[in-house]
């Protein structure tokens, strides 16, 4: 089942497409998925999401940034051309060696000014069979530079009213690739499966509790609390409706109140997943600061200066402080991109480990979670973190760490290194 591909685009650039078969190594439990969260994963920024316009079909929408691509000229000053291969492979599960389907398309972009940063958006249609759920591995390969990025997505079936039956749209009717929006934003949503019907919306307050250190046995944050408000929205006959975000928390949209299946819109700060605002710089320091230092940060009238002072004192100089700041907040942004669930990525268990310990040597994924290993997997001195997938109605990216008292010394060693301005990579 190979779908046809169409392209829509932002920016005044020409896109052409062709379709063909492809076959790569299967997604198996033994694969090392550490590359998904490494620095190299940002070489070609790839965003993608799945939308189901009807019960028997799914669409992959994807987005690239022209600033990440290598444009080559033919001599004489232009035009310049970029060429990217977009490939998907579908598997029954992460542990399956059976390739259900695969397809590729080529994005060919032409520009007279390749230095501008613009967005290229397209989609590939999937023709689902058997109404079954499966796993997608999507890869963008810059053929001129020979760099690539990969991400994994679940295609969900069997849950009527599920999150993939809803697609947030930008004002120009192109898809949004994040479910997080600043406060007081009018969010346009498409849901063709529920055209002409009424959907129910429940607003929940933010769950702001930070994860405990990796060695501390604590209860997981509860996700079954009641909403603080509820209302209904009429979906137009064209499948469109709008939600205007309030000050915080998240909105869970259900087609049927008898089921928790639905789509969630999260309220977040401007600029997310980037870390720019003073409070965004302060909050992640809670992982490595003392209570006295934390009180200083939160009570300071100039939080940015307080943060700079902390890092300069820790590193012993402005140059080393600059490197430490880039390293620490680079990981915060990476955690936001990869691990966001019912809360921002840096506030999750995986975000915590990623910030303090860095990218693991090995990541093993399964349908039930992930195992991260720092060092050789057969070495008893290596660090191992096990994350268990938690099913919740608000996100399919929620994993909880199995905390281990034996990780206490490693935790304090890494925290102390950060407090001395040293970038830690185990």
d(CA 315, CA 78): 47
Q: Return the percentage of the chain with pLDDT > 90, whole number.
A: 70
Say whether both 286 and 258 belong to one domain: no
Residue 163 lies in a domain: no
d(CA 130, CA 392): 25
- Return the pLDDT at 97: 78
Q: Given 158, 183, 207, which residue is the final one in a domain?
A: 158
Say whether both 232 and 90 belong to one domain: no
Helix (H) or strand (E) holding 417, with range, is: helix 408-419
d(CA 306, CA 328): 16
Residue 239 lies in a domain: yes
d(CA 193, CA 289): 49
| Residue 9 φ then ψ, to 5° | -150, 155
- Return the pLDDT at 130: 62
Say whether both 289 and 400 belong to one domain: yes
Alpha helix stretches (DSSP H) within 290-403:
291-299, 303-315, 318-339, 349-357
Residue 425 lies in a domain: no
Three-state secondary-structure class, residue 161: coil
> Residue 65 in contact with residue 119, Cβ under 8 Å?
yes
HSE-CB of 112 using CA atoms within 13 angstroms? 1
Res. 2: pLDDT tops 80: no
**Residues written for the chain:** 426
Global pTM reads 0.89
- Return the pLDDT at 24: 46
CATH of the domain at 75: 2.60.40.10
Say whether both 128 and 194 belong to one domain: no
Residue 333 lies in a domain: yes
Say whether both 23 and 146 belong to one domain: yes
Q: Given 106, 125, 158, which residue is the final one in a domain?
A: 158
* CA distances to 103, 328, 332, 353, 412 from 357, in Å: 37, 10, 12, 6, 11
pLDDT digits (tens, 9 = 90+) for 337-348: 999 999 999 999
d(CA 230, CA 227): 7
Q: Which of 399, 412, 406 is nearest to 347 (CA)?
A: 399
> Residue 399 in contact with residue 335, Cβ under 8 Å?
no
pLDDT digits (tens, 9 = 90+) for 278-326: 989 999 999 999 999 999 999 999 999 999 999 999 988 889 999 999 9
Q: Given 139, 158, 177, which residue is the final one in a domain?
A: 158
Give the mean model confidence (pLDDT) for residues 22-43. Answer: 68
Res. 157: pLDDT tops 90: no
Say whether both 62 and 11 belong to one domain: yes
Say whether both 15 and 152 belong to one domain: yes
Q: Which two tokens stand for residue 383?
A: 């660090």
Res. 7: pLDDT tops 90: no
Say whether both 396 and 290 belong to one domain: yes
Cβ within 8 Å of residue 146, ≥6 positions away: none
d(CA 107, CA 61): 13
> Around Cβ 404, how many Cβ atoms within 10 Å?
16
Say whether both 98 and 148 belong to one domain: yes
Say whether both 133 and 174 belong to one domain: no
* First vs last C-alpha separation in the chain: 43
> Residue 48 in contact with residue 62, Cβ under 8 Å?
yes
Say whether both 184 and 74 belong to one domain: no
Q: Is 206 exposed, middle or buried (0-12, 13-18, 19+ CB in 10 A)?
A: middle
Q: Which of 344, 206, 210 is nearest to 286 (CA)?
A: 210
Say whether both 251 and 307 belong to one domain: no
- Identify the domain containing residue 76 by its residue range: 5-158
Cβ within 8 Å of residue 278, ≥6 positions away: 302, 303, 304, 307
Residue 424 lies in a domain: no
pLDDT digits (tens, 9 = 90+) for 185-229: 999 999 999 999 999 999 999 887 899 999 998 888 788 789 999
- Return the pLDDT at 351: 97
d(CA 265, CA 342): 10
Number of domains in the chain: 3
């Amino acid at each position: 089942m190979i779908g046809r591909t169409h392209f829509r685009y932002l920016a005044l650039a020409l896109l052409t497409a062709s379709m063909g078969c492809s076959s790569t190594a299967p997604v198996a439990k033994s694969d090392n998925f550490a590359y998904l969260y490494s620095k190299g994963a940002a070489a070609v920024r790839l965003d993608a999401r799945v939308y189901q316009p009807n019960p028997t079909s799914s669409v992959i929408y994807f987005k690239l940034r022209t600033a990440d691509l290598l444009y080559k000229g033919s001599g004489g000053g232009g035009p310049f051309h970029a060429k990217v291969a977009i490939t998907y492979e579908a598997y029954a599960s992460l542990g399956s060696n059976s390739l259900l389907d695969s397809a590729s398309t080529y994005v060919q972009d032409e520009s007279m000014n390749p230095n501008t940063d613009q967005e290229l958006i397209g989609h590939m249609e999937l023709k689902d069979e058997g109404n079954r759920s499966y796993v997608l591995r999507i890869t963008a390969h810059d053929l001129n530079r020979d760099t690539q990025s990969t991400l994994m997505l679940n295609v969900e079936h069997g849950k009527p009213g599920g999150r993939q039956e809803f697609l947030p749209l930008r004002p120009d009717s192109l898809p949004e690739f994040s479910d997080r929006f600043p406060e007081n934003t009018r969010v346009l949503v498409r849901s063709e499966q529920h055209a002409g019907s009424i959907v129910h919306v429940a607003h929940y307050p933010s769950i702001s509790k930070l994860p405990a250190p990796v060695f501390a046995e604590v209860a997981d944050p509860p996700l079954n609390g009641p909403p603080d408000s509820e209302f209904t929205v009429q979906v137009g006959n064209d499948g469109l409706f709008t939600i205007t975000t309030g000050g915080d928390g998240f909105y869970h949209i259900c087609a049927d109140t008898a089921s928790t299946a639905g789509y969630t819109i999260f309220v977040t700060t401007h600029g997310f997943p980037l870390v720019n605002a003073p409070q965004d710089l302060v909050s992640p320091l809670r992982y490595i600061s003392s209570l006295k230092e934390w009180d200083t940060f939160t009570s300071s009238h100039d939080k940015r200066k307080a943060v700079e002072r902390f890092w300069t004192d820790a590193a012993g100089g402005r140059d080393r402080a600059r490197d430490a700041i880039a390293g620490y907040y680079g990981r915060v942004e990476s955690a936001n991109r990869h691990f966001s669930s019912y809360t921002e990525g840096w506030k999750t268990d995986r975000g915590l480990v990623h910030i303090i310990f860095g990218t693991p040597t090995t990541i093993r994924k399964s349908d039930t979670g992930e195992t991260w290993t720092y060092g050789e997997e057969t070495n008893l001195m290596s660090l191992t973190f096990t994350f268990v997938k938690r099913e919740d109605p608000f996100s399919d990216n929620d994993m909880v760490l199995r905390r281990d008292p034996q990780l206490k010394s490693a935790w304090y060693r890494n925290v102390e290194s950060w407090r001395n301005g040293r970038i830690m990579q185990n």
